[in-house]
Structure 1
Amino acid sequence: MVCAKKWIFVLAVLMVSFCWYNMRRMALHPSLVFHCNSQLTSSSQFDLLKQDFLHRMLYEKPNVLSPPRSDVLMMTPWFAPIVWNGTYNIDILNTQFHQKNVSIGITIFAIKKYTVFIKTFIETAEKFFMVGYEVNYYVFTDRVGDIPNITLGEGRQLVILEVPSYNRWQEVSMRRMEMIRDHSRQRFVNEVDYLVCVDVDMRFSDDVGVEILSHSFGTLHPGYYAASRTSFTYERRQQSTAYIPTDEGDFYYAGGYFGGTVEEVYKLSNFCHNAMMTDKGNNIEAIWQDESYLNKYFLYHKPTKILSPEYLWDNNYEAPAFLKRRRFVAVPKNHDAIRNKRALRDYSRNK
């Protein structure tokens, strides 16, 4: 036994000496290189790559000198497309995304009395949102018992995530980023490829498909798409981590519609939550809560795609001529009624 241990020790010393000797040779003779046979026989991970192939399709030829829309901006200075009606072919996109077998998660927050909006939201989403794809509706709520039973299509499911409530609606708004971040890390990354994060007090009124999907995307706010950057309601106090100077800014993004891959949504929500907590520690609350931090993030982490106001509209605004479709619109509501129990019951019965 002792003899065996001695031989093991001697062998280890010899191996260390040999490695040290070769390292010294390489240091003293930098021109010394190892030559390998160029005839590689080992397998490669590239052998497992799958070729994407589009089947035969008939559609109008793209015209380089005649853009599909000349009345709106279609591309940002950093080459991110702005999605408008008429700027894409959904059949081509569907073929591409179906080959990738993507799944989509959509998050909504139904805190306190906002559970009243869930039925309309999901029923209209079943008609217009990502039809033909696997979809998880992630409903964050503090009132699990108020969630209605809704029949969903094949490959689509309702996932109820119970979360705490907060006294102030501003606090609810700010905590959304924390909840999205934590669930992205712990759950969403294992279940879906893309996340779409929207407000619940909305309804789908036209098709919303894979044309919106990208690494990261934001949506032009319907009230500020044509405004100058000095008119944007960014956070202007320098003490806040959401601060944006008056001479900076690309667009004003709506806090009620953003998304991307789960990884990118995690990065975004993590940044926003940490910034909020820093401000909270200094007794500062950004002017528009999570929306203010979202705009700060997208200023310095440019989104790879931007959705036009077609994808987030409020019919209280006068519709401009270039707005060809209204895909996702705010539900008419009385904010005071939502805070009043009796009025809320009347609203729910009328729905």
Structure 2
Amino acid sequence: MSGLREKSFGIFCCLVLLVASFTSLYLRYVASLVPAHSLLVASEVTSGENLSINLDDTLNFGARQEVETRTSWKAPIIWERMFDPKLYDQKHIQKKSSVALTVFAVGRYLDAYLKTFLISAEQHFMLGLQVTYYVFTDQPDKVPHIDLGPQRSLKVIQVEKHSRWQDISMMRMKTISDTIESEIRHRCNYVFCLDVDQEFKGRFGSEALGDSVAQMHAWFYKAQKQSFTYDRNPKSKAFIESGDYYYHAAVFGGLCEHVKSLADHCFLGIMEDKLNDVEALWHDESHLNKYFWLHKPTRLLSPEYCWDQVISDNRDINVTRLIWAPKHYDTLRTK
């Protein structure tokens, strides 16, 4: 009789373990169906502001009737008056969003542009958030000292100076990818990659943050598609016959994993072109446009976020956030 009881007890224990195992697997399966961003911890639920809000649901797409505010794949195009800056900043501060800003200052570009770029970034870029500047240069000792605000830091990384400016431009993609992998992803949620020959003039804030962020080119945002300067050489990995928009490589960003994917795609395309003795028309920008054609960005920045003041028709630009600095290619670029 006691043996029967022991056998029954053993069967019961096995059933309990089976039920527990299946329950655990089922809960893990259910959890996999729920987006991570929709799961809130108790402290978030009880905080003053409900962090479950989708900020992009608050965008006013009808605020700018004269311009395009959403793509065909429903990605927002960010313009002034579409968003509430206080709401975006509050949400990202609560989330403790952190941003890396990468910039290359190689050769004569360091003296010509870097100080103005950094000082203006301190005044306008992602204020209120944790920001780390990554300055890539061949002259670390010449990087100017800048007084940084709270939660803001700067790291200088030495890079090789290539003999041709085209190679400097194209090889930055490998450097960005390597640095995201080795350091940035351990410190920051987002990364933005900007050209140094620019100056911040107005708010460039948390409304620009997204999974994968592309910058509309100021000279092409109203142009016909046939005028876009894609690389149309079928021998190049950057080849595009027709695309959606023309994007500017002077500004791109997003979550670390998305920017790394973009940088890896561009670098591999560049290296394959080199093996085939091909060079894309606009170098890394051509490969960037190919990437965004294949992998649609989740957020587009209007030309407010990268404006050329040479353009006389500025009716759409309510706020100038970042401008192109005067170009002196004849004296700054290596041949």
- Structure number with greater Rg is 1
Q: Which residue of 1 aligns with 2:195?
A: 199
Q: Which residue of 1 aligns with 2:184?
A: 188
Helix, strand or coil at the partner of 1:323:
coil
Please give the per-residue CA displacement for 1:138-190, whole angstroms capped at 9, x wherever unaligned: 00000111111111111111100111110000000000101001111111110
Question: Among the aligned pairs, what percent are the same residue?
Answer: 37
Instruction: List gaps (5 residues or longer) in structure 2.
Output: 1-17, 32-38, 51-56
Match of 2:44 among 31, 44, 51: 51
Structure 1 contact 105–136 (Cα < 8 Å) conserved: yes
Structure 1 contact 141–162 (Cα < 8 Å) conserved: yes
- 1:106 and 1:237 map into 2 onto residues whose CA distance is 33
Q: Which residue of 2 aligns with 1:296?
A: 290
**CA-CA distance at 1:37 after TM superposition:** 11
Structure 1 contact 107–195 (Cα < 8 Å) conserved: yes
- 1:289 and 1:65 map into 2 onto residues whose CA distance is 36
Q: Which residue of 1 aligns with 2:331?
A: 337
Match of 2:246 among 213, 233, 252: 252
Structure 2 residue 85 is matched with structure 1 residue 87: no
- 2:21 and 2:165 map into 1 onto residues whose CA distance is 68
Instruction: List gaps (5 residues or longer) in structure 1.
Output: 1-33, 57-61, 341-351
Match of 1:230 among 209, 220, 226: 226
1:102-121 matched pairs, under 5 angstroms: 102-116=97-111, 117-121=113-117
Match of 1:276 among 267, 270, 280: 270
Structure 2 contact 202–321 (Cα < 8 Å) conserved: yes
Match of 1:137 among 133, 137, 140: 133
Helix, strand or coil at the partner of 1:225:
coil
Q: Which residue of 2 aligns with 1:23?
A: none
- 1:173 and 1:153 map into 2 onto residues whose CA distance is 30
Structure 2 residue 140 is matched with structure 1 residue 147: no
Q: Which residue of 1 aligns with 2:70?
A: 75
Structure 1-normalised TM-score?
0.80
Q: Which residue of 2 aligns with 1:324?
A: 318
Please give the per-residue CA displacement for 1:218-259, whole angstroms capped at 9, x wherever unaligned: 0000111011111100000101110001xx210000011000
Q: Which AA in structure 1 matches 2:158?
A: E
**CA-CA distance at 1:276 after TM superposition:** 0.6
Structure 2-normalised TM-score?
0.83
1:191–1:67 CA distance, 2 compared to 1 (3 A): same
Structure 2 contact 59–82 (Cα < 8 Å) conserved: no
Helix, strand or coil at the partner of 1:145:
helix
Structure 1 contact 199–256 (Cα < 8 Å) conserved: yes
Structure 2 residue 265 is matched with structure 1 residue 306: no
**CA-CA distance at 1:51 after TM superposition:** 2.8
**CA-CA distance at 1:319 after TM superposition:** 3.6
1:65–1:250 CA distance, 2 compared to 1 (3 A): closer
Helix, strand or coil at the partner of 2:67:
coil
Q: Which residue of 1 aligns with 2:36?
A: none
Match of 2:153 among 150, 157, 169: 157
Q: Which residue of 2 aligns with 1:11?
A: none
Structure 1 contact 203–331 (Cα < 8 Å) conserved: yes
**CA-CA distance at 1:39 after TM superposition:** 9.7
Q: Which AA in structure 2 matches 1:289?
A: H
- 2:219 and 2:315 map into 1 onto residues whose CA distance is 15
Helix, strand or coil at the partner of 2:108:
helix
- 1:68 and 1:317 map into 2 onto residues whose CA distance is 24
Structure 2 contact 61–69 (Cα < 8 Å) conserved: no
1:38–1:281 CA distance, 2 compared to 1 (3 A): closer
Helix, strand or coil at the partner of 1:257:
strand
Helix, strand or coil at the partner of 1:273:
helix
1:251–1:39 CA distance, 2 compared to 1 (3 A): closer
Q: Which AA in structure 1 matches 2:44?
A: Q
Helix, strand or coil at the partner of 2:214:
strand
**CA-CA distance at 1:327 after TM superposition:** 0.5
1:203–1:39 CA distance, 2 compared to 1 (3 A): closer
1:120-131 matched pairs, under 5 angstroms: 120-131=116-127
Q: Which AA in structure 1 matches 2:289?
A: N
